[in-house]
């Protein structure tokens, strides 16, 4: 076999190798972008449900404030917790990449959830308030929103897990940093103040008679 043919074969193999590597890298890049977009979309849903809860607070506070002698400190706590949520700013349009910032956001949201929980507990002492249709409707909406928050947080963590696993898996781990991909933080497990408020619906229930 002539030297020219050998060079052509080597050149062909070299070009084929480059094409294969290029396609492989392109596939890795596209997959990481897709997973990154999935985390951003999941984060947008988390923000939507948290915003829905924040939007319910003014109506809930106004409704409760109309009850005679309702504890003003409880209303103040809810109002201040909602304001603190608005002060937590996460940079960027997509899902957070700073674990400390996400923890700050989660803490503020947890404080609002805890304040709302205490407000609902206090409202149990006001039968006239519980009998108000507007208050009952707000409780139903709040319960639905809290359930939605739990669902969307779980979906966000699932999306982040898939993304973080992908950028740490060979061969993507070789190119992830080059493409600007880095590990993203999760929501932590809800404990204490981070638990969603317990919403009661026993408006017409009567207390059980005391045991003789």
Per-residue pLDDT at 129: 87
**Residue 199: inside a domain, yes or no?**
no
Q: How many domains does the chain have?
A: 1
**Residue 38: inside a domain, yes or no?**
yes
For residue 194, name the pLDDT band (cuts at 50, 70, 90). very low
**Residue 59: inside a domain, yes or no?**
yes
73 is written with which tokens? 């400190």
Mean pLDDT (the chain) is 84
Q: What is the DSSP string of 4-51?
A: HHHHHHHHHHHHHHHHHHHHHHHHHHHHHHHHHHHHHHHHHHHHHHHH
Pairs from 181-186 (Cβ < 8 Å, separation ≥ 24): 181/32, 181/36, 182/97, 184/39, 184/95, 184/96, 184/97, 184/160, 185/96, 185/97, 185/98, 185/99, 185/102, 185/103, 185/160, 186/156, 186/157, 186/160, 186/161
Residue pair 94/40 in contact by the 8 Å Cβ criterion: yes
Q: Determine the average pLDDT of the residues in 117-134.
A: 88
**Residue 204: inside a domain, yes or no?**
no
Residue pair 160/95 in contact by the 8 Å Cβ criterion: yes
**Residue 212: inside a domain, yes or no?**
no
For residue 15, name the pLDDT band (cuts at 50, 70, 90). confident
Q: Which of 51-55, 162-166, 176-180, 184-188 has the lowest mean pLDDT?
A: 176-180
**Residue 211: inside a domain, yes or no?**
no
Per-residue pLDDT at 30: 93
Domain with residue 109: its CATH number is: 1.20.1440.20
Residue pair 187/157 in contact by the 8 Å Cβ criterion: yes
Per-residue pLDDT at 190: 55
**Residue 148: inside a domain, yes or no?**
yes
Per-residue pLDDT at 195: 47
Residue 91: domain span:
3-194
Give per-residue pLDDT as tens, 23-54: 678 889 999 999 999 999 999 999 999 999 99
Give per-residue pLDDT as tens, 49-105: 999 999 999 999 999 888 767 888 999 999 999 999 999 988 777 899 999 999 999
């Amino acid at each position: 076999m002539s030297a020219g043919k050998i060079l052509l074969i080597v050149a062909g193999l070299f070009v084929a190798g480059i094409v294969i590597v290029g396609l492989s890298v392109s596939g890795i890049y596209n997959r990481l972008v897709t997973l990154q977009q999935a985390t951003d979309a999941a984060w947008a849903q988390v923000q939507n449900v948290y915003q829905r809860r924040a939007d319910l607070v003014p109506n809930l506070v106004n409704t409760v404030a109309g009850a005679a002698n309702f504890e003003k400190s409880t209303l103040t706590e809810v109002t201040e917790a909602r304001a603190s949520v608005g002060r937590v700013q996460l940079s960027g349009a997509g899902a957070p990449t700073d674990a400390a910032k996400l923890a700050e956001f989660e803490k503020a949201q947890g404080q609002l959830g805890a304040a709302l929980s205490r407000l609902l507990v206090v409202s149990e002492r006001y039968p006239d308030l519980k009998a108000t249709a507007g208050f009952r409707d707000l409780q139903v909406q709040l319960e639905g929103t809290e359930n939605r928050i739990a669902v969307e947080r779980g979906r966000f963590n699932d999306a982040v897990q898939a993304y973080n696993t992908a950028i740490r898996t060979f061969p993507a781990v070789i190119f992830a940093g080059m493409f600007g991909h880095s590990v993203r933080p999760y929501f932590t497990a809800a404990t204490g103040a981070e638990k969603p408020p317990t919403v009661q619906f026993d408006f017409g229930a009567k207390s059980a008679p005391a045991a003789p």
